[in-house]
Amino acid sequence: MNSHAKLETAVTVQSALRQAIARLAQAATPSHSLVAELLLMRILGRDRAWLYSHPEAPLTTDLADKFFDLVAQRARGVPTQYLTGTQEFWGLPFEVTPAVLIPRPETEHIIEVALERLGPERCRERLCIADIGTGSGCIAVALAIELPLAEIHATDISAAALAVARRNAQRHSVSERIYFIECDLLPSGGASAQSFDIIVSNPPYVAEAQKSQLQPEVRRHEPPQALFAGPSGTEIYPRLIGLAAQRLRSDGFLVLEIGFGARDKIQPFLDSASWKNVCVANDLAGIPRVLSAQRA
């Protein structure tokens, strides 16, 4: 009997999970048991309940090879989300690839703040929204779902990221109300110089000097252009805030995610006659996370 035949008869769901958990634990992979389950669920197209109700189900050589290849990649630090191709955001599944930043729970505060600042009445209006640096499209799609009459212009400098965002919009049946545009911040000139009721953004805000402080899997695998913004990490905010002052309608809102310790550096850019009702929202860890203001 050759080795492939032995593998096919020897590897079951239970034994594959045990081997994977041991390998990931040895590599000090966080949540190694959960990761092993997620990767096997991805390979088999099954849910967790099926895995544990069919422990003796055999894996073919091909499936076993694919599974252990994913396990090896995760052990080397490749993020689980890039291996499974999905991440949940706002209670919705989103496709993610190495072309886009993996959506974080903290970014959901952008959605919360935007809806709160608009209020119930304006949420029912035909709003025009810009999502600058859309990445996977998670913010744009979530807002399109929450605001069924809104039109959203989602921009990014990465064509590869926009391709992912388009697929996510199609997946959640909101693609007819989201316009994806490849540009730096917002398109300018002519008919494209549109004004907006609300501008949201989760821009790159990690300082170059902090690169070594990031988790290795983030530093090595997530797109640098979505993470790093320059020496201080705040370089993009004056441009964003200045552009928003030009393109927001009167009483419109700007909602920005900010990095740890950045509030005191960024908030002064909103201390001008162009802005009023400046607010800061903390994340669940009590860290100032979302800065918002209303166009005067």
What pLDDT is stored for residue 9 in this prediction?
Answer: 52
What pLDDT is stored for residue 5 in this prediction?
Answer: 43
Q: What are the tokens at 243?
A: 């552009």
What pLDDT is stored for residue 7 in this prediction?
Answer: 44
Q: Where in the chain is the domain with CATH 1.10.8.10?
A: 3-76
**Could you list the mean pLDDT of each consecutive 10-residue stretch along the chain, which spans 296 residues?**
47 97 97 98 97 96 97 98 98 98 98 97 93 98 97 98 98 98 86 84 94 92 94 95 96 97 96 96 96 97
Class of domain 98-295: alpha beta
What pLDDT is stored for residue 189 in this prediction?
Answer: 62
176 touches 152 (CB < 8 A): no
- Pairing of β 196-201 and β 248-257: parallel
| pLDDT tens-digit readout, 118-152 | 999 988 999 999 999 999 999 999 999 999 999 99
Look-up of token digits 């069924």: 148
What pLDDT is stored for residue 176 in this prediction?
Answer: 98
Q: Where in the chain is the domain with CATH 3.40.50.150?
A: 98-295
| pLDDT tens-digit readout, 41-62 | 999 999 999 999 999 999 999 9
CB neighbour burial string for 5-32, b if at least 16 within 10 angstroms, e if fewer: eebbeebbbeebbebbbebbeeeebeeb
CB neighbour burial string for 182-194, b if at least 16 within 10 angstroms, e if fewer: eeebbbeeeeeee
CA separation for the pair 290, 292 (Å, rounded): 6
What pLDDT is stored for residue 188 in this prediction?
Answer: 82
Is 3-76 in CATH node 1.10.8.10?
yes
